[in-house]
């Protein structure tokens, strides 16, 4: 009986693991890209995510599908966080101007890039100490931002930290938010931070 229960548990874990990895592989990468950026890791939230941008609490501007994936390269020890947006609903505002998400732990950006996918909308990237963003640029056909049914280039930011859930925002005339992935504090980093805080507290007590 115990053996049957153990086998059932292992089978369930394999199914759950497969589901996680299928979510991580929602975005497709070529063999050449995989050599550079590594292999997909399991995600804490399934992709894609639909974000509705609101002009007001009751008026819908537009909606976007946000695809994302995280690849890890053991040679460089870098996690590459890939994102791609598609405007799926025009609503009252037919374009999307910006996508941004938080970096609350202030991890340094160790790399970034835009893949230049054929037929996709170009983006430009920027970041501060606490947030990262992509400006959805006009296309050569004269449409501003990311118009209905258009898809951005895949773009990425690289960190040394594994993924966790963060809030992503669509910004134009209104703002919409949804849960995507971003860098998480590693246990070792949190331990060092805790030790540092304890050390400062001890130093303060000695001076007192």
Q: Which long-range contacts does 32-35 make (Cβ < 8 Å, 24+ apart)?
A: 33/115, 34/71
User: Quick check: 137 and 181 in contact, CB under 8 A?
Assistant: no
Q: What is the pLDDT of residues 162-191, one digit of tens each?
A: 999 999 998 877 788 999 999 987 553 444
The CATH code of the domain at 2-207 is: 2.60.40.1170
Task: Inform me whether the pLDDT recorded for 195 exceeds 50.
Answer: no
Measure the CA–CA gap between 48 and 184, rounded to whole angstroms: 19
Q: Can you give the pLDDT at residue 207?
A: 55
First to last CA, the chain: 63
> Could you read off the pLDDT of 89-108 as tens digits, one per residue?
766 666 888 999 988 788 99
User: Greater confidence, 37 or 197?
Assistant: 37
Cα distance between residue 57 and residue 194, in whole Å: 40
Q: What is the pTM of this model?
A: 0.75
Q: How confident is the model at residue 26 (pLDDT cuts 50, 70, 90)?
A: low
- Select from 38, 24, 45, 59 the least CA-distant residue to 174: 59
Report the 3 state secondary structure along 3-56: HHHHHHHHHHHHHHHHHHHHHHCCCCCCHHHHHHHCEECCCCCCCCEEEEEECC
């Amino acid at each position: 009986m115990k053996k049957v229960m153990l086998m059932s548990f292992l089978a369930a874990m394999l199914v759950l693991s497969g589901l996680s990895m299928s979510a991580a592989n929602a975005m497709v990468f070529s063999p050449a890209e995989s050599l550079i950026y590594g292999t997909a890791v399991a995600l804490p939230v399934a992709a894609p995510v639909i974000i509705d941008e609101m002009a007001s609490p009751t008026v819908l501007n537009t909606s976007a599908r946000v695809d994302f994936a995280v690849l890890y390269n053991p040679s460089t020890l870098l996690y590459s966080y890939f994102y791609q947006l598609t405007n799926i609903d025009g609503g009252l505002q037919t374009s999307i101007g910006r996508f941004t998400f938080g970096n609350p732990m202030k991890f340094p950006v160790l790399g970034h890039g835009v893949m230049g996918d054929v037929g996709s909308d170009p983006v430009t990237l920027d970041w501060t100490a606490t947030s990262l963003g992509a400006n959805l640029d006009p296309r050569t056909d004269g449409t501003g931002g990311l118009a209905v049914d258009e898809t951005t280039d895949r773009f990425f930011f690289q960190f040394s930290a594994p993924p966790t859930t963060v809030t992503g925002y669509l910004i134009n005339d209104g703002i919409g938010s949804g849960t995507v992935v971003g860098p998480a504090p590693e246990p070792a980093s949190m331990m060092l931070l805790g030790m540092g805080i304890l050390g400062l507290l001890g130093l303060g007590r000695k001076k007192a």
